[in-house]
Structure 1
């Protein structure tokens, strides 16, 4: 699907929430990346989306220079401009950025680590979730330059509790179940998923599994595959595989993007969460179960 076009999926008629997952390829410049996402956010808002999810590393793509040189707190240029855009469009925006964290000495080198943060701004909310599970896998060590977060984060949107996770977090089901136990009915997941053998299949399996075993709507917005189909399936580092997805609490896929830039606009009915959990009370049963 060509850049700038959107794919719509309507799951249930009647009252609901309209959300957007914007799939893009960001670059090294915060200013250029804000310019890239601004018209896409406005377009999604014009189509009625009130919750807009952008990828991990929206402010600065991985592999495009040191992260600490442009890392900012949530009163910096990137967060401030997105806050203004959220106010202008009447939306809540979730987007990946980086914040200064700590300084470590490693093998005689001074390392300025950052937090891998999902900014949440709009609707009276302006805060961040720091990615808890760093991507230390497949010959990559995110923890060398990124400090893990420690706290789960939820926020309210249109009366619905929304949990937040980032990319590699999706491999850890307990985080999603705990968000559900704390009231999350929707979980948003900014992502920059690395391509490679079997990685797309893993991504598709994990997004469906996390929605199903937590009984939530899951909305994951990823970085587009930089080379689209030309090199699909080849190792890419954590620079994106596309395939942003919205999954229902019963594990069915509502909408899924391809490899390239694309926007998903999806109507969901949060009331569906209670119906699914009543039929399949996995979270409640687990909470009441004792294992030795």
Structure 2
């Protein structure tokens, strides 16, 4: 997706992409970070923030999951916290019945100075950090949840594996600058070092707030092979998660079992 600051337009786009993915055989659909809104200012995030389990955006996600008989991982949206001045960046998971079965509050917040047109990023000015890694049992295996900047923290991914994750999702909005340098490297590394599948849905293009994101959404297998990848554009990337591949790699090269620290 190339989300704008218009919620209605973004939800319409997300609905169309979900329909397209399901028509192509997808049973699990992952949306990118900030799928509903790429804000021009923090106030817009607060204006669309919802209480967990309530609100129009969450009702939309439930309805679309039910209508398409698919699992939806809704990249991230602002969920109200106990503080009036900050929200959580939250990934929501819906089953094919439309039930919200899990949520994950982004743990690692992107506070960095990048050599792009925006330059200064301070997510902690708007967001409250989560503190709980989350895994979800699905028909496709145990799924671990992460969001964007989390990709740079291998200890989170290892904790998800310790909790049984067989594949991990990473909805993201990587900048063009950091993405060119590190996106594919991080995605493949996290998959290889944890012998798991990685589904990384990234925003991709120039947004109407002036921010440029890298795109290149991809699905990576436990050997580090990129099974499917988009360019810098709106679209879908599809792939098959094979339990036999996961078991074979974890059995033949059991690096996780060989850890000594």
Asked if TM exceeds 0.5, the reply is yes
* Structure number with higher helix proportion: 2
Q: Which moved more, 1:245-254 or 1:122-131?
A: 122-131
Question: 2:163 corresponds to which residue?
Answer: 182
Question: 2:103 corresponds to which residue?
Answer: 128
Q: CA deviation at 1:28?
A: 1.8
How do residues 118-267 of structure 1 correspond to structure 2 at under 5 angstroms? Answer: 118-123=91-96, 125-126=99-100, 127-138=102-113, 139-196=120-177, 199-226=179-206, 237=211, 240-267=213-240
Q: Which runs of 5+ in 2 are unaligned?
A: 114-119
Question: 1:72 corresponds to which residue?
Answer: 50
Note if contact 1:164-1:189 (Cα within 8 Å) is conserved in structure 2: yes
* Structure number with higher strand proportion: 1
TM-score of the aligned structures, taking structure 2 as reference length = 0.89
How do residues 4-153 of structure 1 correspond to structure 2 at under 5 angstroms? Answer: 24-63=1-40, 65-66=42-43, 67-73=45-51, 74-95=53-74, 96-103=76-83, 112-123=85-96, 125-126=99-100, 127-138=102-113, 139-153=120-134
TM-score of the aligned structures, taking structure 1 as reference length = 0.80
Question: 2:255 corresponds to which residue?
Answer: 282
Note if contact 1:41-1:52 (Cα within 8 Å) is conserved in structure 2: yes
- Per-residue CA deviation, residues 256-292 of structure 1 (Å, 9 max, x unaligned), is 1111112112122122111111122222222xx24xx
CA distance in 2, matches of 1:250, 1:205: 13
Q: Which has the larger radius of gyration?
A: 1
Root mean square deviation of aligned Cα: 1.7
Q: CA deviation at 1:159?
A: 4.9
CA distance in 1, matches of 2:229, 2:197: 13
Q: CA deviation at 1:137?
A: 1.6
Note if contact 1:59-1:98 (Cα within 8 Å) is conserved in structure 2: no
Q: CA deviation at 1:65?
A: 4.9
Aligned residues: 248
Change (3 A) 1:101 1:180: same
CA distance in 1, matches of 2:199, 2:15: 20
Note if contact 1:102-1:147 (Cα within 8 Å) is conserved in structure 2: no
Q: Which runs of 5+ in 1 are unaligned?
A: 1-23, 104-110, 228-235
Q: CA deviation at 1:186?
A: 0.9
CA distance in 2, matches of 1:219, 1:170: 12
Extract structure 1 runs of 4+ deviating beyond 3 A.
Answer: 62-65
